[in-house]
């Protein structure tokens, strides 16, 4: 991989297709992860992932599970393209004379990829979290149970009050409205709230994921110069993704808490990463840092498995006319 020329348009296509397919499949689980991570001890609305999904469907309808999906689907293409293409770029320039990369250099390439992607990831997550968590806040303010469908309009109002001075009754606030209000009141830094926590999550994730995937994928090669079957790349991507996701879950909890602008009753605010970590440890204990870990593993595993298959098959390269369709030529 390190000796092949890098085509950014092809990487953009591969990353976009993988991201859109992956997000569409696993977004409800990601919504459950956000809501589970944000609820505090003593004020639980949801018992677990399945309980969260059932209550969301009953109170907000089927499409309630896809709150915030639009902003994710819009920005996941450049985000995944930057992440995967940056890793390829750094691996390409760290390789010497066609020799394999050391684990340290693989981690260095992953570190560079993680630092590049936060340009898109931070505002994407910032907007997505506000939309995903609206239902939990409304339910927590009423009672720790299931909201009736007639109360869904109030859920929208709770979120709207945080960003607009005169929201239309019963209408959900959009990512565009939130972004416009943040830019108006706080400037560009409003969209990049939690940047430090995002770096704390994405840089270690990439440092774990990319070297682990490379080594797992290498085990499926029939010869030193051969390639692994596409199904092996998928499984390798799933295993590496889920492992890295669980490893950095504490950072994801901190990032989610910092980026949540609307809060339920008795939910404290945080001044920064250190303050957030300290308060979570004191009030909820170490186990709070593992909230949503299972959900996150279920989200990341297929997302990166699909991404690696797209790269293996070479859909982007095929569309650009650079190579034959990899699945047919393999």
Query: What confidence score (pLDDT) does residue 156 get?
Result: 44
Region 152-178 average pLDDT: 53
CA distances from 319 to 47, 222, 314, 322 (A): 46, 28, 9, 8
Half-sphere exposure of 108 (CA within 13 A, CB side): 11
Region 142-171 average pLDDT: 44
- On the question of pLDDT at 273 being above 80, the answer is yes
- Any alpha helices (H) in the chain, and if so which ranges? 8-38, 49-60, 69-94, 103-132, 134-142, 152-161, 175-186, 188-191, 195-218, 230-247, 249-259, 273-284, 293-313, 315-319, 326-329
Query: What confidence score (pLDDT) does residue 199 get?
Result: 95
Query: What confidence score (pLDDT) does residue 137 get?
Result: 80
- Name the residue among 325, 328, 302 with its Cα closest to residue 233: 302
* Greater pLDDT, 141 or 103: 103
pTM for the whole thing? 0.81
Region 212-229 average pLDDT: 85
What's the chain's average pLDDT?
82
According to the per-residue pLDDT averaged within each range, which of 256-270, 287-301, 312-326 is highest?
287-301
- On the question of pLDDT at 323 being above 60, the answer is yes
- On the question of pLDDT at 143 being above 70, the answer is no
- On the question of pLDDT at 328 being above 90, the answer is no
Largest CA distance in the chain: 66
Query: What confidence score (pLDDT) does residue 325 get?
Result: 57
Query: What confidence score (pLDDT) does residue 168 get?
Result: 43
- On the question of pLDDT at 80 being above 90, the answer is no
* Greater pLDDT, 86 or 165: 86
Query: What confidence score (pLDDT) does residue 157 get?
Result: 43
Out of 62-76, 147-161, 205-219, 233-247, least confident range? 147-161
């Amino acid at each position: 991989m390190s000796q092949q020329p890098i085509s950014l348009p092809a990487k953009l296509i591969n990353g976009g297709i993988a991201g859109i397919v992956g997000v569409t499949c696993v977004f409800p689980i990601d919504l459950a992860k956000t809501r589970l991570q944000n609820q505090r001890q003593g004020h639980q609305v949801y018992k677990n992932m399945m309980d969260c999904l059932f209550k969301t469907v009953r109170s907000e309808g089927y499409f309630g599970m896809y709150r915030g999906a639009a902003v994710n689907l819009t920005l996941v293409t450049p985000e995944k393209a930057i992440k995967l293409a940056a890793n390829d770029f750094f691996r390409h320039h760290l390789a010497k004379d066609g020799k394999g990369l050391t684990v340290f250099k693989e981690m260095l390439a992953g570190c560079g990829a993680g630092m590049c992607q936060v340009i898109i990831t931070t505002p994407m997550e910032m907007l997505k979290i506000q939309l995903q968590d609206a239902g939990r806040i409304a339910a927590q303010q009423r009672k720790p149970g299931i909201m009736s469908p007639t109360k869904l309009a109030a859920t929208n109002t709770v979120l709207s009050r945080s960003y607009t001075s005169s929201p239309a009754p019963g209408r959900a606030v959009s990512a565009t409205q939130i972004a416009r209000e943040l830019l108006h009141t706080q400037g560009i830094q409003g969209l990049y709230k939690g940047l430090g926590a995002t770096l704390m999550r994405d840089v270690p994730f990439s440092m774990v994921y990319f070297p682990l995937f490379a080594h797992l994928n290498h085990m499926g090669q029939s010869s030193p110069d051969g390639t692994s079957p596409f199904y092996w790349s998928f499984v390798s991507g799933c295993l590496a993704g889920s492992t890295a996701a669980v490893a950095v879950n504490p950072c994801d909890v901190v990032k989610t808490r910092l980026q949540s602008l609307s809060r339920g009753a008795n939910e404290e605010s945080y001044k920064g990463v250190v303050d957030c970590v300290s308060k979570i440890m004191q009030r909820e204990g170490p186990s709070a840092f593992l909230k949503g870990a299972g959900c996150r593993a279920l989200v990341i595993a297929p997302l990166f498995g699909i991404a690696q298959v797209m790269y293996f098959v070479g859909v982007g390269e095929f569309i650009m006319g650079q190579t034959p369709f990899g699945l047919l030529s393999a």
